[in-house]
Amino acid sequence: MRVIAGEFRSRALEAPRGIKTRPTSDRLRETLFNVLAPFLEGAVVADLYAGSGAIGIEALSRGARNVIFVEKAEPALKAIRSNLSALGIRGGYAIEARSVAIALRRMLAAGKRLNVVVLDPPYADAEEYALTLGLLGEECSELLAPDAVMVAEHEKRRELNERYGQIVRYRVLKQGDAALSFYRVEAGLTPPE
């Protein structure tokens, strides 16, 4: 696993040890960031279910202003910290060592505003997809900048809902056994300022 492009291009990343992880392949990450490229410069990015932190690190490498890594598994947290340290990244990020639901509510209470949200829960955990996308579309919708983009990585054979509250799916990309579902705030429905 490596950083695909930007400041840390071609640098190796460590995967979490001792837990079952399914890191996003380099090829799928490249596809994801080809789509996200116009949204990254100066963006605040949330890497939910961060695992190794590869998504958030790629975002930092490509010009994101700030990344919030959300992960609760200790082996994954160690991998994130190790990867950030190995790359010499000393700022521009925060690590939320807790569940995604709690982290989103904390960000909301702190007045955060997200431009890009990427979520990659365990494929088998359908409840996590529904919970997280539901929170983003309803209870925590004020977290989203008006032009925010949310992306969920999931199994190609599992369809996610087209709508979660005020966020709607506008694109699906499939690659191998994986799919990326892209969401945005529905036109005409802007999260409150």
pTM: 0.90
Helices (H) and strands (E) in the chain, counts: 5, 8
Helices marked H in 70-167: 74-86, 100-109, 126-137
Q: Sheet of 178-185: strands edge to edge?
A: 93-96, 66-70, 44-48, 114-119, 144-155, 178-185, 167-175, 163-164
Q: Note the pLDDT of residue 191.
A: 42
Among candidate residues 153, 37, 56, the one with its CA nearest the CA of residue 96: 56
Amino acid at 78: K
Amino acid at 118: V
Count of CB atoms within 10 A of residue 133's CB? 23
Q: Which CATH class is domain 26-185?
A: alpha beta
79 Cβ contact partners less than 8 Å away, ≥ 6 residues apart: 14, 15, 16, 17, 51, 52, 53
Among candidate residues 67, 57, 81, the one with its CA nearest the CA of residue 115: 67
Please give the chain's pLDDT, 193 residues, in tens: 777 777 777 677 778 765 555 566 778 888 999 999 999 999 999 999 999 999 999 999 999 999 999 999 999 999 999 999 999 999 999 999 999 999 999 999 999 999 999 999 987 888 899 999 999 999 999 999 999 999 999 999 999 999 999 999 999 999 999 999 999 998 754 444 4
Q: Note the pLDDT of residue 13.
A: 78
Helix (H) or strand (E) holding 40: helix 26-40
